[in-house]
Amino acid sequence: MLIDGTWLRRQREDRGWAVREMARRLIDAGHAAGDKAMPAVDSMAAYVRRWEHGKYGLTERYRLYYCAALGLDPSQFGHDQPAPLASRTVAYRGTYRSDPDGLTVEREVLMTAHESSDHAEHAEHPGIGDITFEQLRADVVRLAGLNDTGEPFTTFLETRRVRDRIYRLLDRRLWPREQTDLYFLLGCLNGLMGVNAQRLGYPDAAEELIRSGWAYASAIDHQPLLAELRQQLSYVAYWRGRFEESRDLAESGLAHLSQGQLGAQLYLYHARAAAKLGDADTARRAIASAHDARAQDYTDDLLEIGGEYAISQAFHHYLAGAVLAAIRGAEGEAAEELEHVVNLYDAGPGPDESFTFSGKPLASIDLAVSRLRAGALDAAAAALGPVWSLPSALRISTITTRLAVAREELGAPVFRSSAQARELGERIEEFGRETIVAGLHSLPAGPG
């Protein structure tokens, strides 16, 4: 069957797959169909390149395998379909120019780099060579940084690509040290994907990914990574409203690590859940413990990766402010702490720090909520200023959830006759209409 090679190439690249990844997926589809005569990856990759250049036609056999690999009905094969989510998201963000093939220099360069890296790993037998490990570690460092600053869905897909590469490496005969290193990287990558799955509104998937990371961390008994993954699960449980579970997970994480930036973050998640459960004394003690833990001189190989694993002073104080905001009667303290946080973000990151994209918006929303509870509508509206410019692809579930709380506060009796309150509620609702979060429910009703 003759098929436009450009169509095949576009389908592959819309999914973010390198040529060898397309080859592997075709082989997997063949094996799933019971085909025991599938060629090796190198040969299949050569076929893919020839098909995409229009040099050969596809047989019915491979047309069916393409359909299985691409997730298409046979009737859709060769016809332009609505782009998959990854492509729609990227196009919506304006990352790709609309040239005839839907390609850009950036995508071409990245695809070429990934293919070269994949091929180079085969030149390092036996075991895994230093070059491959060096690249994998560099990938994890880069992805941990992207978790702070990048768009969650794009980061999720790129993290999955690196994880899948490590899965293939684990099929080799490895030295124990090589397997230990790969398990550490897999624990990190699954945790990073879990964080982004939660941000995208998929908490069940987030928990599953983080628990997968836990299995790898447990196998190598990596205490900081175990603590990090407990912190991530505590974060997911908190945003699901399971406050007792969030508290207990944070406490479990502290059994693995109770010092440094991560120890401080675990104390603060413990404090936040305790505050939600009405235990103000425990929450305040945990805040004090968090400040003490952060003041300690501590480092480990996870902290050295940076990005997601390095918590800035601004985000540390944001979490402390969020705890105070959850304590009844502490609204004034919370507002003071959160104003300090916004000033820290305005001043920019300190030495060896980076700011997560969600830090200032979350602090601004919590500050607005505190001001609304004090009846200060003008001050609340001003606090929300930094939120409105957030691109749709960065409007994660925690931000939309906290904005829903702000909108609920606008329904208080003191604001019911306020045109400004109605306008602010409408702006929050409009903000929530354009979001990366899948399956976003309607925000609660605003002021009438």
- Region 39-62: mean pLDDT is 83
* Same-domain check for residues 84 and 148: no
pLDDT score, position 389: 87
55 band by pLDDT with thresholds 50, 70 and 90? low
* Same-domain check for residues 446 and 343: yes
Within a domain: 161: yes
pTM above 0.85, yes or no: no
pLDDT score, position 83: 45
* Same-domain check for residues 347 and 427: yes
* Same-domain check for residues 421 and 391: yes
Please say which residue of 221, 246, 268 terminates a domain: 221
Range of 391's domain? 330-351+360-448
Lowest mean pLDDT among 96-100, 143-147, 308-312, 367-371: 96-100
* Same-domain check for residues 185 and 81: no
Would residue 40 be called left, alpha or beta, if left means φ above 0 and alpha means ψ between -120 and 50 degrees? beta
241 or 13, greater pLDDT: 241
Q: How far is CA 128 from CA 122, 314, 322, in A?
A: 9, 40, 45
Within a domain: 167: yes
pLDDT score, position 422: 93
Within a domain: 314: no
Lowest mean pLDDT among 115-129, 351-365, 376-390, 403-417: 115-129
* Same-domain check for residues 83 and 144: no
Please say which residue of 221, 251, 281 terminates a domain: 221
* Same-domain check for residues 26 and 132: no
294 or 77, greater pLDDT: 294
Within a domain: 433: yes
Q: In whole angstroms, what is the distance from residue 136 CA to residue 143 CA? A: 10
- Region 304-325: mean pLDDT is 95
Position 284 pLDDT exceeds 90: yes
Please say which residue of 206, 221, 236 terminates a domain: 221
* Same-domain check for residues 342 and 447: yes
pLDDT score, position 93: 35
Position 266 pLDDT exceeds 90: yes
Of residues 367, 377, 436, 439, the one with CA closest to residue 411: 377
Count structural domains, the chain. 3
Cβ–Cβ under 8 Å, residues 116 and 108: no
- Region 418-433: mean pLDDT is 90
Within a domain: 283: no
* Same-domain check for residues 135 and 97: no
211 or 151, greater pLDDT: 211
Cβ–Cβ under 8 Å, residues 65 and 48: no
* Same-domain check for residues 67 and 154: no
Position 13 pLDDT exceeds 90: no
Cβ–Cβ under 8 Å, residues 180 and 147: no
- Of the ranges 62-71, 159-168, 287-296, the best mean pLDDT one: 287-296
* Same-domain check for residues 99 and 135: no
Q: How far is CA 263 from CA 109, 322, 334, in A?
A: 40, 17, 22
Q: In whole angstroms, what is the distance from residue 41 CA to residue 171 CA? A: 14
- Region 216-221: mean pLDDT is 97
Within a domain: 74: yes
Within a domain: 196: yes
Within a domain: 380: yes
